[in-house]
Amino acid sequence: MAVSASADTASALWYRGPGQVEIRREAIAPPGTGEIRVKTLYTAISRGTESLVLGGRIPVGEFQRMRAPFMAGDFPFPVKYGYAAVGRVEDGGDALRDKTVFALYPHQTAFNIPASAAVALPEDVPPHRAVLAANMETALNGMWDAAPGPADRIAIVGAGVVGSLVAYLCGRIAGTDVTLVDINSSRAELAGKLGVSFAEPGNAKADCDLVVHASGSPDGLRTALELAGDEATVLEMSWYGDAAVTAMLGGPFHSRRLRLVSSQVGHIAPSHRPRWTHGRRLAAAIALLDDPRLDALLAPAVAFGDLPERLPGILDAGSGILCQPIIYS
């Protein structure tokens, strides 16, 4: 299928049924007042969320809260979904004309958005790495919820993209002892590139001041609770969709006075909410991507036109892919 964009048409990825995706052509009007036209350079697959979308596993009660800013359609299907797009501004918005921007937009070859919804990339953040912006924003918000401090012993359980980014940010705090914990021993190389330690669950240091759980697995949550020290916080960053999760809240959970706290990027963390806007937070997340070490999270790019065939494999739990960039040409 041809996927090149023209002045008035674009191609977009749609989730049309459980395990089914397709590329659709659709018309796009000229940019209206206050809008810009963006020609897409890269998007990224959010493996956790988009696997739930592909499987039709968004709970009915979360249909509205799980809507991405510019998604089309309605859950469960069909939906045009995604929130990590990087492109060049071709029309509208004199201040952004010809600039490379990040936007929370689905997988589409070209699109119009309000100029206020685009964030220009700093010169030192290349477009291919900028697709991590939404994940970095989630990690930054989690850091605000967790409030790690200097010299803390910190474990991050789950070496996916969000967990790895949290580990990376924690590792930049003076004196911290940060361990990325995962059942996949090959993630040790990634941890080394990010400047933190690595351990499999049975070998991780316990008595932690803070534990962040981002594995998306009930077993990972049990590991997180086991690694927390007395009166420590366990920050839960996984979202399980419609899956039931059993947490071990018996035994020593109460006597050790552990705190199990949720974190979700839809709202700015309470510690920063009075002063920060969503736009300011996203711009800060993009600025934090100014580090070539973060390229270790990126798989080789896949062509947009190949997505219908490639996406099920990308989202398969055994693929080993962290962040999957999509390239447009």
Average pLDDT over residues 131-160: 98
- Fold matches, 9-131+298-327 and 137-262: no
* pLDDT-based confidence at residue 208 (cuts at 50, 70, 90): very high
* pLDDT-based confidence at residue 7 (cuts at 50, 70, 90): low
pLDDT of 80-136, one tens digit each?
999 999 999 999 988 999 999 999 999 999 999 999 999 999 999 999 999 999 999
Q: What is the pLDDT of residue 329?
A: 83
Q: Is the peptide bond before 325 cis (omega within 30 degrees of 0)?
A: no
Given the candidates 3.90.1150.10, 3.90.550.10, 3.40.50.300, 3.40.50.720, the CATH classification of the domain at 137-262 is 3.40.50.720
Domain spans, the chain: 9-131+298-327, 137-262
Report d(CA 12, CA 109) in Å as an integer: 7
Q: What is the pLDDT of residue 1?
A: 42
pLDDT of 33-77, one tens digit each?
999 999 999 999 998 889 999 999 999 999 999 999 999 999 999
pLDDT of 297-328, one tens digit each?
999 999 999 999 999 999 998 899 999 999 99
Q: Tell the CATH superfamily of the 9-131+298-327 domain.
A: Medium-chain alcohol dehydrogenases, catalytic domain (3.90.180.10)
